[in-house]
Amino acid sequence: MANNLNKHQKEAFDKAQAILSEHFQHFGLVVLDDEDILEYDYSTYYIGKMLFREASSEMNKEDIELVIEDDDEKTMI
């Protein structure tokens, strides 16, 4: 997919996808660029749907600990 990425971003996206497909039968790949453009792809439609739904469910649990590290400070949410 990766239709909205610039040439260098698309090359990096394609390389990451190629590496994943060499090592995993099923995968999902999501990126967000500096302009907040979301791009994603997956091995197959149904696998992608399942992977992203499961990941979203896991991320929405109350017991998740998110650590954001900035050059100046570390914030735990």
Query: How confident is the model over 49-63, as a mean pLDDT?
Result: 86
Q: Provide the percentage of residues in the chain whose pLDDT is more than 70.
A: 83
Whether 62 shows a pLDDT value over 80: the answer reads no
- What's the pLDDT at 42? 92
Asked whether residue 13 is domain-assigned, the answer is yes
Asked whether residue 1 is domain-assigned, the answer is no
For residue 30, is it within any domain? yes
d(Cα 47, Cα 32) in Å, to the nearest integer?
Answer: 21
Cα(30)–Cα(47) distance, integer angstroms: 14
Q: For residue 23, is it within any domain?
A: yes
pLDDT of residue 75: 58
Whether 55 maps to a domain, the answer reads yes
CA pair distance 25, 44, nearest whole angstrom: 10
pLDDT of residue 37: 85
- Domain holding 27, by residue range, is 7-76
- Using CA atoms, how far residue 58 sits from 1, 46, 63, 71, in Å, is 25, 18, 9, 28
In-domain check, residue 53:
yes
Greater confidence, 63 or 39?
A: 39
Residue 2 lies in a domain: no
How many independent structural domains does the chain possess? 1
